[in-house]
Amino acid sequence: MNEITKDIVAEHGLTEGEYEEVLSILGRTPNLTELGIFSVMWSEHCSYKSSKKWLKTLPTEAPWVICGPGENAGVIDIGDGQAVIFKMESHNHPSFIEPYQGAATGVGGIMRDVFTMGARPIANMNALRFGSADHPKTRHLLAGVVAGIGGYGNCMGVPTVGGETNFHSSYDGNILVNAMTVGVADTDNIFYSAAAGVGNPVVYVGSKTGRDGIHGATMASAEFDDDSDEKRPTVQVGDPFTEKLLLEACLELMATDAIVAIQDMGAAGLTSSSFEMADKGGVGIELNLDLVPVREEAMTPYEIMLSESQERMLMVLKPGREEESRKIFEKWELDFSVIGKVTDTGRMVLTMHGGTVADLPVAPLADAAPEYDRPWVKTETPPVLRAEDVDAPGDLGQVLLKIMGSSEIASRKWIWEQYDHMVMGDTIQRPGGDAAVVRIHNTDKALAITTDCTPRYCFADPKTGGAQAVAEVWRNLTATGAQPLAITDCLNFGNPERPDIMGQFVGCIEGMREACETLDFPVISGNVSLYNETNGQGIHPTPAIGGVGLLKDTSKMATLAFKDEGDLVLLLGTQTGDMGQSIYLREIEGREEGAPPIVNLSDERKNGDFLRQIIGLGIVTAAHDISDGGLAVALSEMALSGNMGAEITLSSKLPLHATLFAEDQGCYVITISPENCDDVLKKAKNADVSLQRIGTIGHNELNIAGALTISIDMLRQEHANWMPNLMASQSRK
């Protein structure tokens, strides 16, 4: 038995203070297995020690929330005895080291989180951030990540229906790969992870355990340096075929009442799953590691407990139900092994080769996990950039073309065509719109799903950025006609031990909280990824938000495509024309400056509720929110999607380049047929929202009076070709 030296403790990422705590909990020195268990349980990844204090401030409740943060995923009620279960999770570091497998196993992990609760996954999303497009590694990473996400999700037969993709140099050394899964279950058949019933069998199912990803969990919380390539062997390989079998087997067993509790083995594998189940149930667990199905010779207890082999689950069954359960898993050619039982000792006791290899108290280890109130400093709020502070360009048409073909705005078709986004036969709004819409099978109800975050806003002003991310999600769901219900978050930040980074975190959370409250949009699950930093260069703060909304009647869905020649174009919401942090400023002036656009949450709410109401009345023929790139980009996207132009006349007092390219929040472009115009304008007046006619659709060019005239084909070329051209040029690893 190795004796525990300072170095070994340090290698396990435990501070001296934390190790003192270990000693006082145990009243003795831990053995190596026990130390390993402490190190993963107390890693940032599993313990949330830097973020807990602030996460607690987020609103998590609403009448329709069945289960908020704390379980494998959040659960909301959508009526008719049905629940939606969803969560988003990061797999950033592994994806940087091995993009294909890192991204693939990230998708596999988040899907397990959802089906372990009894839901069949019906949609996947992915929120991606890469370094600048011309960084030597970017193409290799983008190609690998997209192939990996597709490789896993496509094989599972779950459609990947949307996401978001940004490029910025702050991610050169730390890309972000955030995957989200949405599933549907019956409200009376949801599964939780609290172990119960002294003597009940603890069962291991799924793949065998190998030496995969040992210390992945601690790695995922360690800042990168240039030799991080050395950390490579901890990358795991995903087996989507086995996960597909695991999904079907679990759902088959869940149709019976044999399961007491179930928990997937994610980061820190058997360790965190067994401890979480015991802790939540306030019980003890006894495991015989000789009974764990292993893939390799001579695995030590340390390796078995810390392995991150994929496609595995831990269950507590009702007594006497082992055999029927075994039959199901064997039918699906999966391992099934009773490896222990629930006890009343409140201790985790692990035996192997007839001896005890670990004996730890569950509660202290789980609850006494360190919690830090890290020092933080508020980010300086930058000055507002008004239209006057930004020169008007010579040729607005050229500007629009340049922006349509820029890294942030260009079409992501190259990505989503590598994802099966139609399997399961319920995708009624495909990628390319504001939100994807997926029908609840055999009903007229559907879920709208989107992920959003504008990191450059968060970097300039964390609070506004945090609020904006939540508001844009709400807006994108609203633009389809759906009622936004709840969000999940994936909070990607740099090193929390730096007060400025911690300040970004605190600011974003504060903004998110205000938005969630004003918009009745609770957080029901989430994930924190810190230390996204290389050689002291942190990423832009990136609180990726995934949201789900309910469309009660699929026939009332709105899309962004221009449809009927002669329909009127209207602008909903008021423009300030502020240009700070806009794509215009970045692409045309080469400046990343100023304050992000103001987020006025009460206007946001008022405008969105009004739009949803008139979509519900069936009088809106197209709807699209204004986001990156401003009004001109929104109009272009609607024209491209409908393959139809428009005649636009703007009566704003603002200079044209501000009206067209300022990224004003809480605004939408809609179209309606002329005969409904007066009625809609009256409704707007009564609802006290700003709604103005700005044009008519038709022909094959976008014409903005006094500004530009561009053919749809030219717009399409710029928009469609950027990413294929980027990826056509060869990249090295």
Ligand X SMILES: Nc1ncnc2c1ncn2[C@@H]1O[C@H](COP(=O)(O)OP(=O)(O)O)[C@@H](O)[C@H]1O
Separation of alpha carbons 294 and 208, rounded Å: 5
Which of residues 476 and 532 has its CB atom nearest to Mg ion in the complex? Answer: 476
Return the residues of window 329-358 that contact other proteins according to CB under 8 A. 332-333
Under the criterion CB under 6 A, does residue 416 sit at the interface with ligand X? yes
Active-site residue (options: 12, 91, 215, 421): 91
Strands (E), 552-598: 568-572
Which of residues 33 and 450 has its CB atom nearest to Mg ion in the complex? Answer: 450
Active-site residue (options: 45, 215, 540, 624): 45
Other beta carbons within 10 angstroms of residue 536's beta carbon come to 10
Under the criterion CB under 6 A, does residue 126 sit at the interface with ligand X? yes
Which of residues 1 and 298 has its CB atom nearest to other proteins in the complex? Answer: 298
| Angle formed at CA 727 by CA 107 and CA 535, multiple of 5 degrees | 65
- Partner in contact with 729, chosen from ligand X, Mg ion, other proteins, none, beta carbon below 5 to 8 Å by kind: other proteins
Query: Considering only 162-170, 244-252, 273-281, 712-720, which stretch makes contact with ligand X by CB under 6 A?
Result: 162-170
Under the criterion CB under 6 A, does residue 179 sit at the interface with ligand X? no
- Partner in contact with 126, chosen from ligand X, Mg ion, other proteins, none, beta carbon below 5 to 8 Å by kind: ligand X
Under the criterion CB under 5 A, does residue 411 sit at the interface with Mg ion? no
Q: Residue 62 has which token pair?
A: 């609403």
Amino acid letter for position 339: I
Q: Are 431 and 480 in contact (CB under 8 A)?
A: no
Which of residues 423 and 705 has its CB atom nearest to other proteins in the complex? Answer: 423
Under the criterion CB under 8 A, does residue 559 sit at the interface with other proteins? no
- Partner in contact with 5, chosen from Mg ion, other proteins, ligand X, none, beta carbon below 5 to 8 Å by kind: none
Separation of alpha carbons 137 and 96, rounded Å: 10
Query: Considering only 163-171, 272-280, 606-614, 719-727, which stretch makes contact with ligand X by CB under 6 A?
Result: 163-171
Question: CB within 8 A of 353, min separation 6: which ones?
Answer: 290
Shortest separation between residue 212's beta carbon and other proteins, angstroms: 6
Q: Of these, 211, 321, 456, 463, which contacts other proteins (CB under 8 A)?
A: 211
CA distances from 505 to 158, 229, 528 (A): 33, 28, 10
Q: Are 565 and 695 in contact (CB under 8 A)?
A: no
Separation of alpha carbons 378 and 624, rounded Å: 34
Q: Residue 648 has which token pair?
A: 């636009």
Helix axes 677-687, 601-616, angle to 10 degrees: 140
Q: Of these, 433, 496, 547, 580, which contacts ligand X (CB under 6 A)?
A: 433
135 is an active site residue: no
Q: What is the 3-state secondary structure (H, E, C) of 666-718?
A: CCEEEEECHHHHHHHHHHHHHHCCCEEEEEEECCCEEEECCCEEEEHHHHHHH
Under the criterion CB under 8 A, does residue 220 sit at the interface with other proteins? no
Separation of alpha carbons 514 and 600, rounded Å: 11
Which of residues 420 and 628 has its CB atom nearest to ligand X in the complex? Answer: 628
> Look-up: residue for tokens 């340090």?
10
Under the criterion CB under 8 A, does residue 236 sit at the interface with other proteins? yes
The pairing of strands 65-67 and 160-167 is: unpaired
Q: Of these, 363, 423, 598, 681, which contacts other proteins (CB under 8 A)?
A: 423
Separation of alpha carbons 50 and 27, rounded Å: 26
Q: Of these, 243, 286, 452, 664, which contacts ligand X (CB under 6 A)?
A: 452
Under the criterion CB under 5 A, does residue 625 sit at the interface with Mg ion? yes
The pairing of strands 176-186 and 120-130 is: antiparallel
- Partner in contact with 165, chosen from ligand X, Mg ion, other proteins, none, beta carbon below 5 to 8 Å by kind: ligand X
91 is an active site residue: yes
- Partner in contact with 706, chosen from other proteins, Mg ion, ligand X, none, beta carbon below 5 to 8 Å by kind: none
Q: Are 400 and 126 in contact (CB under 8 A)?
A: no
Give 422-428 contacts, CB < 8 A, sequence gap 24+. 422/159, 423/154, 423/157, 423/158, 423/159, 424/122, 424/157, 424/158, 424/159, 426/122, 427/159, 427/161, 428/554, 428/557
Q: Of these, 116, 309, 476, 659, which contacts other proteins (CB under 8 A)?
A: 309
Query: Considering only 341-349, 366-374, 411-419, 657-665, which stretch makes contact with ligand X by CB under 6 A?
Result: 411-419
CA distances from 7 to 64, 357, 511 (A): 50, 22, 41
Which of residues 427 and 476 has its CB atom nearest to ligand X in the complex? Answer: 476
Which of residues 200 and 627 has its CB atom nearest to Mg ion in the complex? Answer: 627
CA distances from 88 to 91, 204, 491, 610, 630 (A): 10, 25, 10, 29, 28
Query: Considering only 429-437, 562-570, 609-617, 696-704, which stretch makes contact with Mg ion by CB under 5 A?
Result: 429-437
Under the criterion CB under 8 A, does residue 732 sit at the interface with other proteins? yes
- Partner in contact with 415, chosen from ligand X, other proteins, Mg ion, none, beta carbon below 5 to 8 Å by kind: ligand X
Element (H, E) at 622: strand 622-625
Under the criterion CB under 8 A, does residue 377 sit at the interface with other proteins? no
Q: Could you give the residue numbers annotated as active site?
A: 45, 91
Q: Which residues are at the interface with other proteins (CB under 8 A)? A: 97-98, 100-101, 147, 150-151, 154-157, 207, 210-212, 232-233, 235-242, 244-245, 295-296, 309-310, 332-333, 416-425, 427-428, 430, 439, 554, 729-730, 732-733
- Contacting positions for Mg ion (CB under 5 A): 434, 476, 625, 627
Binding residues vs ligand X (CB under 6 A)? 126, 128, 162-165, 412, 415-416, 431-434, 452, 476, 627-628
